[in-house]
Amino acid sequence: MVSRVIPVEPFDLVIFGGTGDLARRKILPGLYRRFVDGQMPAEARIIAAARSENTDAAFRETVRAAIGEFVTKEKQDATCIAAFLDRLSYVRVDATGSDGWQALAEKMRKDVIHAYYFSVGPGLFGDLARRLHRFGIAGSRCRIVVEKPFGHDLESARDLNATLAEHFDEHQIYRIDHYLGKETVQNLMAVRFGNMLFEPLWNARNVDHIQITVAETVGVGGRGGYYDKAGAMRDMVQNHMMQLLCLIAMEPPYAFEPDAVRDEKLKVIRALDHADPAQIVRGQYLADEEGRGYREDVENPDSRTESFIAMKLNVSNWRWKGTPFYIRTGKRLRARTSEIAIVFKDPPHSIFGDQESHKSNVLVIRLQPNEGINLKVTIKEPGPGGMRLIEVPLDMSFKEALGPEADDIPDAYERLIMDVIRGNQTLFMRGDEVEAAWAWADPVIAGWEQTGDRPIPYDAGSSGPEDALMLMHRDGRRWREVKA
Ligand code: NAD
């Protein structure tokens, strides 16, 4: 297969928080993979800026170890690693003071793209924006990449947008939602808008309902302090799941261009009905055999924060009126799986009589594991014995369809960082989108706080509280199984 990788322009990428967990696990290994694939030009440089005292040599060794841990063996080549590490340097910078900024400013080259990745806690985003300006390194060709969480409610998101807007134009601000960088998520748009097959059926006349599931087996891990203030609604629904819902529900944009796509997503968020509290189930995982449940993990014995949420949502517009969107996400569930299922309606009349095995067509877009697309169709069971119908999958696993090339699919972060350098904001959230999503989420969260709503306990390793199943059973529907 001929490589279609086109190198990006020369750049200086500064990773604030370059020694943190995200940089170590995702950003730096991802950049290395782009380097190996020839997408990073020889003149590219990466500068880690963080609070601790460190040297270039010591930082490079931590990156060497991260590559060893997070990059597949096939891509680990000693010469490539050495050449990549050569591009790295470290500057000690205090985001809240003036230490290190002059040294950083002196490192930035004049004639290349400047990208600043804010991979630090959200409390520091404003501090960084201000200092980039004060130290004269926020020219019009620079961009900033802002990590999640983008605010914890509408007011804080507005404040953050306003602070960033004091120093940067909207076209310079890249609010990252790594779900948008996933190959299958982009494929969702290719399937919808690159084929004639699905789009005519993509509406309430033909689609019975849509299910979006993001299930994790892990608990809150070391993020307990943050998570207990956020919960699944803020951590997953307001951003990632909302983005997935938008891509499924949006009208065809006039072009695959940043504002065209983002305008359509925004319309979806605005068309969302207020979530009905009776159509929401919140859950919290119970202790496992080792005695660690959610409350132990976050060290808050009275916590009312949800580690699981299932909701029925309605998009009130011509296309979707009457077709519900069921979404659920949770931690410590039975399997790690993320998928979107478009469940089509039954044919209006069955010429084959009532056959139990006759199921509706389902288009499943698997985000993980084993990214791919699967369409369930009904066919005749082969052989004699009359007209018996069975359901078979038309399966397109990327691994099978694309062979070894599928292993080369860039990780969401590396693709998105290259988009930042290319100046393409299509897969990043615009400020008004984030605000609209908070404007929708805030009253739901406020309702729980006012009523003192308590999440329902569920067993670790289950598929969430029974009530979540009831949410669909009441409508005569059922969730797809949570399985890997
Ligand atoms: P982390 O705590 O592991 O690392 C924080 C980094 O910020 C360190 O490099 C530290 O030196 C630096 N830092 C802290 N205070 C500083 C200061 N005053 N001046 C300069 N540098 C300072 O955090 P993380 O897990 O890497 O997360 C970084 C950001 O990414 C957060 O906003 C987080 O919400 C977001 N995020 C992380 C993950 C993940 O998997 N870790 C996933 C999604 C989003």
Same domain, 138 and 199: no
23 CA to centre of ligand 1 in angstroms: 8
Domain of residue 108, residue span:
11-147
Please name the residue that has the structure tokens 């170890």: 65
Q: Say yes or no: 110 and 234 in one domain.
A: no
CATH of the domain at 74: 3.40.50.720
Work out the mean pLDDT of the chain and round it to a whole number: 93
- Among residues 147, 170, 203, the one where a domain terminates is 147
Here the CATH number for the domain that contains residue 209 is 3.30.360.10
Burial of 76 (0-12, 13-18, 19+ CB in 10 A): middle
Does 247 reside within a domain?
A: yes
Contact 93 CB / ligand 1 (< 6 Å): yes
Residue having the nearest C-alpha atom to atom 41 of ligand 1:
22
The finding on whether 230 has its CB within 6 A of some atom of ligand 1 is no
459 class by beta-carbon count within 10 Å (0-12 exposed, 13-18 middle, 19+ buried): middle
Residue pair 165/135 in contact by the 8 Å Cβ criterion: no
- Is 240 one of the catalytic residues? yes
Any ligand 1 atom below 6 A from CB of 21: yes
Q: What's the mean pLDDT in 91-116?
A: 96
Same domain, 116 and 51: yes
Among 14, 16, 19, 22, the mutation site with the greatest number of ligand 1 atoms within 8 A of its Cβ is 22
CB 328 within 8 A of CB 468: yes
* Residue of 171, 240, 358, 473 marked active site: 240
Clarify whether residues 273 and 344 are in a common domain.
yes
DSSP state of 152: S
Cα of 135 to ligand 1 centre, how many Å?
22
The total number of structural domains in the chain stands at 2
Domain final residue pick, 126, 147, 168 = 147
Task: Locate the ligand 1 atom nearest the alpha carbon of residue 48 and give its number.
Answer: 9
Q: If you take atom 43 of ligand 1, which residue's CA is the nearest one?
A: 148
Residue 208 lies in a domain: yes
195 lines ligand 1 (CB under 6 A): no
Longest CA pairwise span in the chain (Å)? 82
Residue 481 located in a structural domain: no
Q: In what order do the strands lie in the sheet with 143-146?
A: 88-92, 45-50, 11-16, 113-118, 143-146, 173-175
162 in any annotated domain: no
pLDDT digits (tens, 9 = 90+) for 213-266: 999 999 998 889 999 999 999 999 999 999 999 999 999 999 999 999 999 999
Give me the percent of the chain exceeding a pLDDT of 90.
81
Task: Judge whether 240 lies within some domain.
Answer: yes
> pLDDT value at position 94?
97
Which residues lie below 8 Å from residue 402, measured CB to CB, with a gap of 6+? none
230 and 378 in a common domain:
yes
319 falls within a domain: yes
* 283 and 236 housed in the same domain: yes
Segment 355-364 shows an average pLDDT of 78
| Least trusted range by pLDDT, from 374-378, 413-417, 419-423, 476-480 | 374-378
Note if the pTM is more than 0.85: yes
Residues near 470 by Cβ (< 8 Å), separated by ≥ 6? 281
Are 225 and 136 found together in one domain?
A: no
Is residue 222 in some structural domain? yes
Please check the confidence at residue 404 and state whether its pLDDT lies above 70.
Answer: no
**Pair (368, 286) in one structural domain:** yes
pLDDT 10s digits, 283-338: 999 998 888 999 999 999 999 999 999 999 999 999 999 999 999 999 999 999 99
Question: Do 188 and 111 share a structural domain?
Answer: no
Pair 21, 131 in one domain: yes
Asked if 338 and 251 sit in the same domain, the reply is yes
Residues 119 and 205 placed together within one structural domain of the fold: no
In a domain, 341, yes or no: yes
